[in-house]
Amino acid sequence: MTMKDILTSASPVIPVITPDSVDQALSLSLALYDGGLKNQEIALRSSCALDAIRAIKEQLPEDLIMGAGTVLTPFQLQLAEQAGADFLVSPGSTDSILEAARDCSAPFLPGVSNPTQAIAAFTAGFNCLKFFPAEASGGTEMLKALAGPLPEISFCPTGGINSENYQAYLLLPSVPCVAGTWLAPDELVQNADWNGISQLCKALLSLKSLPA
């Protein structure tokens, strides 16, 4: 599976989760999956993140695609791949991570926030990029401007995306999907309201204006 397949093959929203424990990650990931979000990302921001990815890949349905996010170094790329991550995401695109990602078998989504970084990542062989932090970097206007000179790049905007603004991003031809933490609100997660989270996802996916 290429990064483009992952961005286009399932629902156009990738929930980003930062679990406190492996058990919580399993419940949350299953709730999101039951809500229709089969492509998900666990950010490597807590000590349980790699174990959570491993447990999800072992125990949850096979068609749940689980990525590892907040990958900052070549070593983390390696650890995430070993844990079984289906794709790898970085908020940035340093030379070292672009270089190391070429040796990974899992597809990589490097982060960029301006044209120079986008050209560097594209030149290094990546045509799907994370646009991060999306809202703080110019949002939909910036993406419209980038589409002119960089028509071959697909962007996954992340950072500041929420229920109010995600549809505006999805209307852009260069945006097959968006990502963000808003589908796993802290309050619902802390109350273990897994059904509430599934309902939130279903409500989002049932919106008529959501592009297919």
Burial class (CB in 10 A: 0-12, 13-18, 19+), 141: exposed
Our finding on whether 16 is near ligand 3PG (CB under 6 A) is: yes
CA angle centred on 205, ends 17 and 194, rounded to 5°: 45
Structure letter (DSSP) for residue 78? H
Q: Which stretch binds ligand 3PG (CB under 6 A): 23-31, 164-172, 173-181, 199-207?
A: 173-181
Q: Which stretch binds ligand 3PG (CB under 6 A): 47-55, 115-123, 136-144, 159-167?
A: 159-167
CA neighbor of 201 nearest in space, from 185, 183, 187: 183
- Closer of 43 and 204 to ligand 3PG (Cβ): 43
Our finding on whether 70 is near ligand 3PG (CB under 6 A) is: yes
Is the separation of the CB atoms in 176 and 7 below 8 Å? yes
Name the pairing type of β-strands 128-131 and 154-157: parallel
Contacts of 57 (CB under 8 A, 6+ apart): 66, 83, 84, 85, 86
Residue nearest to ligand 3PG (CB): 180
Our finding on whether 180 is near ligand 3PG (CB under 6 A) is: yes
Among 115, 160, 185, 196, binds ligand 3PG (CB under 6 A): 160
Our finding on whether 176 is near ligand 3PG (CB under 6 A) is: no
Q: Which stretch binds ligand 3PG (CB under 6 A): 25-33, 166-174, 180-188, 197-205?
A: 180-188
Residue 208 bears catalytic tag: no
Residue 130 bears catalytic tag: yes
Structure letter (DSSP) for residue 158? B
Q: Which of 58, 130, 141, 152 is catalytic?
A: 130
Our finding on whether 92 is near ligand 3PG (CB under 6 A) is: no
Return d(Cα 167, Cα 208) in angstroms, integer: 11
Kindly report the length of the chain.
212
- Closer of 160 and 196 to ligand 3PG (Cβ): 160
CB of 156 to ligand 3PG, least distance (A): 9
Which residue do the tokens 């125990």 mark?
59
Interaction site with ligand 3PG (CB under 6 A): 16, 43, 69-70, 91, 158-161, 179-182
User: So which residues are the catalytic ones?
Assistant: 41, 130
